[in-house]
Amino acid sequence: MNYQIILEEIYRDIQPFAKEGKQADYIPALARVNPDQFGMCLQTIEGEQFILQQADTRFSIQSISKVLSLALCLSIEGKKLWERVGKEPSGAAFNSLIQLELENGIPRNPFINAGNIVVADVLLSRLKNPEKKFIEFIRALCDDETIDYNLEVANSEREKSYLNAAIINLLKYHNNIENEIEEVLALYFKMCSVEMSCKQLAKAFLAFADHTRKFDYAGVYLTSSRVKRINSLMQTCGFYDEAGEFSFLVGLPGKSGVGGGIVAIHPKLYSVAVWSPRLNPKGNSIMGMKALELLTTKTEESIF
Amino acid sequence: MNYQIILEEIYRDIQPFAKEGKQADYIPALARVNPDQFGMCLQTIEGEQFILQQADTRFSIQSISKVLSLALCLSIEGKKLWERVGKEPSGAAFNSLIQLELENGIPRNPFINAGNIVVADVLLSRLKNPEKKFIEFIRALCDDETIDYNLEVANSEREKSYLNAAIINLLKYHNNIENEIEEVLALYFKMCSVEMSCKQLAKAFLAFADHTRKFDYAGVYLTSSRVKRINSLMQTCGFYDEAGEFSFLVGLPGKSGVGGGIVAIHPKLYSVAVWSPRLNPKGNSIMGMKALELLTTKTEESIF
Amino acid sequence: MNYQIILEEIYRDIQPFAKEGKQADYIPALARVNPDQFGMCLQTIEGEQFILQQADTRFSIQSISKVLSLALCLSIEGKKLWERVGKEPSGAAFNSLIQLELENGIPRNPFINAGNIVVADVLLSRLKNPEKKFIEFIRALCDDETIDYNLEVANSEREKSYLNAAIINLLKYHNNIENEIEEVLALYFKMCSVEMSCKQLAKAFLAFADHTRKFDYAGVYLTSSRVKRINSLMQTCGFYDEAGEFSFLVGLPGKSGVGGGIVAIHPKLYSVAVWSPRLNPKGNSIMGMKALELLTTKTEESIF
Amino acid sequence: MNYQIILEEIYRDIQPFAKEGKQADYIPALARVNPDQFGMCLQTIEGEQFILQQADTRFSIQSISKVLSLALCLSIEGKKLWERVGKEPSGAAFNSLIQLELENGIPRNPFINAGNIVVADVLLSRLKNPEKKFIEFIRALCDDETIDYNLEVANSEREKSYLNAAIINLLKYHNNIENEIEEVLALYFKMCSVEMSCKQLAKAFLAFADHTRKFDYAGVYLTSSRVKRINSLMQTCGFYDEAGEFSFLVGLPGKSGVGGGIVAIHPKLYSVAVWSPRLNPKGNSIMGMKALELLTTKTEESIF
């Protein structure tokens, strides 16, 4: 498959959408990003790499980090995690407190905010220095020591985050948080603040696409079966209230972030990362969604 | 892959669950089925067939029919269907009126009752004789003229079905039903009453697994892209409130029915049907779920 | 208290609101009513009557009938009714299915549609000819044999009423309807179709204001304690999602109908009926609400 | 009316319920209260006082304080308060986040926690020293300088209160809190921690029963019309999810607290306070509810 030609075609085809949507602006660091950027990187399991535009520009990976924190958490906690978090699609906006209240403080899945806050709580309970471990894990995935947190982002998220504070208090009320609220939120926001480029993200997620290799990075070890299950969760729950739409249009497991990034994987073939800050009303990158839809249409390679 | 040996192992491994759960008993025809039956059939796209036990016994396919009615409907209505039905997981019990009311009469997806009732309404509006067309389509899929509706089942469902009557009235209130309520429900229940064996179901769903062949049965035509999207919907929405769990454990697109049947497909490899009447509290066959989980574990073949 | 002068003042003061709002138009019989009508009648327990404008014009009393059917039902069924209907304000739109589903088919109170449908079901189970009994009861309350149902209204309500059909089916699903759905709905809509003037309504509701007299009309007998409790229910539940607002502004128990009528009572002093077809977005008569607010403000006579 | 004889009868009649229910035990100060206490005081507007048992024992008034903080707030803020808080019954448990989320951060009424937290926020914005002003107001109502906050109660509530923290964060997210979260919660819990006896409560609430006197205490001034509206709110919203039941059984405006206290008023006749720590599942005092039901039954004096 000549992916480079396909990527070039995609880039041409998505131009009509270049000015649609608005970037996230709820914190200054996101608001001041130039919204008219676009990057893409596809990495095959054979080691080839195909890129478009600003594939080296780093951006805030935001909720994409939830896949990585889940992987770290599962490597430590295993199946027991599922006593505190569900595996079902949420069928409601990503931050809905309604389900959480009706379902007694068990978040629907680890990719909505409530669920990932529980993941952060587990990491705090089980690790001496979870922040350090998490960033080491990502650096190992990418084989790149320069990847790091953005403290300004983490701090300003924390200051503004009344909704997440509501969520964690409700979780604590239902005895689903073990640690101090402030500590858990601090870790949660820090993990979301990691900055990576499309190239780095594609590299990191190649580990989820290639089951022939051991998943063992910086001591974070996952069986092939567990990696598959993380992929399954991305498929059903990776796009908040638009998971069905993404699965329907793209046909690959993926995860989006409010910074405009999206990663997706085609098991046994490739991982792909795309980034463009303008979002649709559901919080997913417009050009990113379009680019991935065109990718599986043009290659005729979906998992279905 | 020697599927026959794997099926035999599965059959042995699931014996401890043989008496767990209860069959559906809300209508007499389902209540009087012997619950201690089990059948399974795996059909590869190369044409091999592997069976276990009562693979020839016919049972009420119930909601499995929703995939087939969606396929028929999409072949006629195309994309326009998505103006009246969503593509998102429902995140609530299969019959919940709450989402329907909050979302103004647009059902979350075509595999919950509300969504499939809209599908039935479209078929009624577009076809002269939708009952005839639907059964002809299934017969063509299976190349078997003996497949038919069970009128006793259809009639007794209709009599007892206050919840579905509530749903269709709410849909009509929101202007999402064009035809007479009684007619739509009659078609809906009739489609659910089809009786098929595991062998027949595996044969029918092979059409969704094999994209190299044209999907063209009794004049029902679907592009490869549309078939993939139906598969994607099975992945995210095929198991009511347990779609995430099934996707997580089995890793294949599938659809279950309250009669105890489950079908799943591995694109480009095989289709598989399993049947056992005893259900878990969420309405899915216990031995069926277990058998399919073991299938992808033992073969190490999930789509992820 | 010179009520006539006060009524005249009220009539003058509400003129600025004369063209606000729209009448109900979901059935032809309501749509063709001249919206620019207004009538009012205050009846003291000493027997004085004060009127304004079209106090003799009959209109569709609609949900005001729910107080009368509850009175009839309590006289037959007594406390047992409360096993099938609650006494709490609904805190949601009058026709919400959400609460009904969350609360397992027990309607919040007898003045929302779901609750009054259960009342109709009880009447059907306990009376040989509930339609005849109900109209005889109203005629006895008013001492006026000319009061009657409007069959055109009853029939066209029935035809259009998908939402009420959804409600009754959900009730039946939860085993809270004993009779045939069609029969219950027919009685329910017939009771809502009664036509009365402000004079007649004020006369009828005087029975709820005056506890010194026996409540015994056409064999419908209620203790003083039971009448008080019906009044209490009007106070907390008489105005759908605006019960608090009415109680706050007017300070009297009351009940409104979508035909533009409102009745209220001041226990031990008077009953009052007002009518004007233009409604606010919550379905209550704009001039009627305003007139009653001014009545208790000007007389300084609320129950609080 | 010989209220003393009636009170004695009531005390005798409620003995069978003396051991039913459990006291609140979510904080130590409430948990260690002897649950087998009972006090009652009825105060007429003519100045007579009738008491039963521990009418002088002080207890934590808890949510009864919400009426007093609303009165203080309305005297300062007037009608503008209703732009930030509703007047409708909540129709759901007192602490439900669901309505708050569905209704965009506008609490249903000032007597649920969310609504009273907004009241506390207004007091913080408008007053230099709201804590001082609030206790001075209560002392003036009772003409008793010994009434005070219980700091242990206020502090331990604050520590445990994850649910209220969730609520205030959700309010802040919807821009319905102006001040710092910690400050608002501190004031809120402090106001709930006031300790009063039945005698003191009856005295304080006499001001709401007697409209012939000016409502002017420590500079807190309310018009007769505003006092009536507070009474109306007690009628429709004073008992969380049991407001209808209390209104139905007792027929008076009232307000309960989780410490086991209940106050009620009969406008133009009397105020009454009752206290007993054992609660029903909805959080209202069992003997208190029973005593008030018997009071209006035996005196035949409800507002209806």
Kindly state the percentage of chain B with pLDDT values over 70.
Answer: 98
Same domain for C143 and C74, yes or no, is yes
Higher-confidence position of D214 and B92:
D214
Inter-chain residue contact B297 with A242, CB threshold 8 Å: no
Same domain for C149 and C203, yes or no, is no
| Residues of chain C with C-beta less than 8 angstroms from the C-beta of D244 | 86-89, 109, 232-233, 236-237
Write the residue in D108, D232, D247 that is nearest to C91 by C-beta. D108
Strands (E), chain D: 39-44, 49-53, 59-60, 195-196, 215-217, 220-222, 254-256, 261-266, 270-275
Of A135-144, A166-175, B219-228, B237-246, the one with minimum mean pLDDT is B237-246
Inter-chain residue contact A236 with B231, CB threshold 8 Å: no
- State whether residue D271 sits within 8 Å of chain C by CB: no
- β-partners of residue C87 are none
Top mean pLDDT of A53-67, C86-100, D234-248 is at: A53-67
- State whether residue C144 sits within 8 Å of chain D by CB: no
Closest C-chain CA to D245: C87
Inter-chain residue contact D169 with A172, CB threshold 8 Å: no
How large is the average pLDDT for residues A137-142? 98
Write the residue in B96, B98, B166 that is nearest to C169 by C-beta. B166
- State whether residue D261 sits within 8 Å of chain C by CB: no
Same domain for C150 and C47, yes or no, is no
How large is the average pLDDT for residues D57-72? 98
A240 min Cα distance to partner chain B (Å): 10
ipTM (interface pTM): 0.92
| Residues of chain D with C-beta less than 8 angstroms from the C-beta of A114 | none
D143 in a structural domain: yes
How large is the average pLDDT for residues C115-130? 98
pLDDT digits (tens, 9 = 90+) for D98-133: 788 878 899 999 999 999 999 999 999 999 999 999
Same domain for A155 and A108, yes or no, is yes
Inter-chain residue contact C173 with B167, CB threshold 8 Å: no
Same domain for C239 and C295, yes or no, is yes
Inter-chain residue contact C92 with D91, CB threshold 8 Å: yes
Closest D-chain CA to A102: D98
- CA dist., res. C166 & res. B169, Å (int): 5
Write the residue in A97, A162, A172 that is nearest to D97 by C-beta. A97
- State whether residue D259 sits within 8 Å of chain C by CB: no
pLDDT over threshold 80, residue D184: yes
A144 in a structural domain: yes
How large is the average pLDDT for residues A51-78? 98
Write the residue in B236, B242, B251 that is nearest to A247 by C-beta. B236
B56 in a structural domain: yes
Question: By three-state DSSP, how is residue B38 classified?
Answer: coil
Residue type (1 letter), C302: S
Structure tokens at A138: 């990502």
Same domain for B57 and B97, yes or no, is no
Write the residue in B96, B98, B162 that is nearest to C172 by C-beta. B162
Closest C-chain CA to B175: C162
Inter-chain residue contact C304 with D86, CB threshold 8 Å: no
Residue B7: phi, psi to the nearest 5? -60, -40
D304 in a structural domain: no
C57 min Cα distance to partner chain D (Å): 29
How large is the average pLDDT for residues C165-177? 95
Same domain for B210 and B147, yes or no, is no
Same domain for C82 and C165, yes or no, is yes
Same domain for A137 and A182, yes or no, is yes
| Residues of chain D with C-beta less than 8 angstroms from the C-beta of A172 | 162
Q: What is the DSSP letter of C258?
A: T
Question: By three-state DSSP, how is residue D223 classified?
Answer: coil
- CA dist., res. D161 & res. B56, Å (int): 60
- CA dist., res. D81 & res. D183, Å (int): 19
A146 in a structural domain: yes
Closest A-chain CA to B231: A304
Top mean pLDDT of A30-44, B152-166, C229-243 is at: A30-44
Closest C-chain CA to D300: C225
Helix pair A198-209, A224-237: axis angle to 10 deg:
120
pLDDT over threshold 80, residue C93: no
Domain count of the fold of chain A: 2
Is residue A24 within 8 Å of residue A277, measured between CB atoms? Answer: yes
At residue B91, the pLDDT reads 67
At residue B117, the pLDDT reads 97
How large is the average pLDDT for residues D38-45? 98
How large is the average pLDDT for residues C221-233? 94
A18 min Cα distance to partner chain D (Å): 31
Say if strands B39-44 and B270-275 run parallel, antiparallel, or are unpaired: antiparallel
B304 in a structural domain: no
Residue D53's pLDDT band (boundaries 50, 70, 90)? very high
Chains with 3 or more CB pairs closer than 8 angstroms to B?
A, C
pLDDT digits (tens, 9 = 90+) for D74-85: 999 999 999 999
Inter-chain residue contact D228 with C302, CB threshold 8 Å: yes
Q: What is the CA radius of gyration of chain B?
A: 18
From first CA to last CA, the distance across chain C in angstroms is 18
- CA dist., res. A285 & res. A290, Å (int): 9
Higher-confidence position of D160 and B50:
B50
At residue A92, the pLDDT reads 66
Strands (E), D101-205: 195-196
- State whether residue A182 sits within 8 Å of chain D by CB: no
pLDDT over threshold 70, residue A294: yes
Write the residue in C102, C163, C172 that is nearest to B173 by C-beta. C163
pLDDT over threshold 70, residue D93: no
Closest D-chain CA to C300: D225
- DSSP sequence for A135-159: HHHHHHHHT-TT-B--HHHHHHHHH
At residue B94, the pLDDT reads 55
A102 min Cα distance to partner chain D (Å): 9
Question: By three-state DSSP, how is residue A214 classified?
Answer: coil
pLDDT digits (tens, 9 = 90+) for B203-228: 999 999 997 788 999 999 999 999 99
Out of C192, C222, C245, a domain closes at C192
Structure tokens at A236: 């059903």
Q: What is the CA radius of gyration of chain C?
A: 18
pLDDT over threshold 70, residue D94: no
At residue D103, the pLDDT reads 81
pLDDT over threshold 60, residue C94: no
Judged by CB atoms within 8 Å, which residues 75-114 of A form the interface with B? 86-92, 99, 108-109
Same domain for D159 and D42, yes or no, is no
Distances (CA, A) of C52 to B156, C55, D255: 58, 6, 39
Closest A-chain CA to B298: A225
Out of C160, C192, C224, a domain closes at C192
- Residue ranges of alpha helices (H) inside chain C are 3-13, 28-31, 65-77, 97-102, 113-126, 130-142, 151-160, 162-173, 181-192, 198-209, 224-237, 243-250, 286-299
| Residues of chain C with C-beta less than 8 angstroms from the C-beta of D297 | 225
Instruction: Please state, rounded to an integer, the average pLDDT across all residues of chain C.
Output: 95
Q: Which of A248, A289, A301 best tests the B interface by mutation, with the highest count of B CBs <10 A?
A: A248
- State whether residue A45 sits within 8 Å of chain D by CB: no
Q: Which residues form the domain of B260?
A: 3-61+194-299
| Residues of chain C with C-beta less than 8 angstroms from the C-beta of D90 | 91
Distances (CA, A) of C22 to C36, C53, C94, C286: 10, 20, 18, 9
pLDDT digits (tens, 9 = 90+) for C259-286: 999 999 999 999 999 999 999 999 999 9
Inter-chain residue contact B302 with A228, CB threshold 8 Å: yes
At residue D95, the pLDDT reads 65
Closest D-chain CA to C211: D304
Give the other-Cβ count within 10 Å of B280's Cβ. 17
Which of A102, B159, B177 shows the shortest CA–CA distance to D93?
A102
Residue B160's pLDDT band (boundaries 50, 70, 90)? confident
Inter-chain residue contact A244 with B91, CB threshold 8 Å: no
How large is the average pLDDT for residues A208-237? 93
| Residues of chain A with C-beta less than 8 angstroms from the C-beta of B91 | 88-92, 99, 108
Residue A159's pLDDT band (boundaries 50, 70, 90)? confident
A162 min Cα distance to partner chain D (Å): 5
- CA dist., res. D252 & res. D246, Å (int): 8
- State whether residue D185 sits within 8 Å of chain A by CB: no
Is residue B209 within 8 Å of residue B126, measured between CB atoms? Answer: no
A304 in a structural domain: no
Q: Give the predicted TM-score (pTM) of the model.
A: 0.93
D170 in a structural domain: yes
- CA dist., res. D71 & res. D227, Å (int): 8
- DSSP sequence for A46-98: TS-EEEEESTT--EE-GGGHHHHHHHHHHHHHGGGGGGTS--S---S-TT-HH
Distances (CA, A) of C151 to C156, C200, C235, D19: 8, 19, 30, 56
> D123-160: string of b/e by CB count within 10 Å (b at 16+)?
bbeebeebbebbbbbbbbbbeeeebebbeebbbbbbee
B158 min Cα distance to partner chain C (Å): 13
How large is the average pLDDT for residues B122-138? 98
Residue C23: CATH number of its domain? 3.40.710.10
Same domain for D40 and D111, yes or no, is no
Same domain for D165 and D203, yes or no, is no
At residue A95, the pLDDT reads 65
Out of A192, A221, A256, a domain closes at A192
| Residues of chain C with C-beta less than 8 angstroms from the C-beta of B173 | 162-163, 166
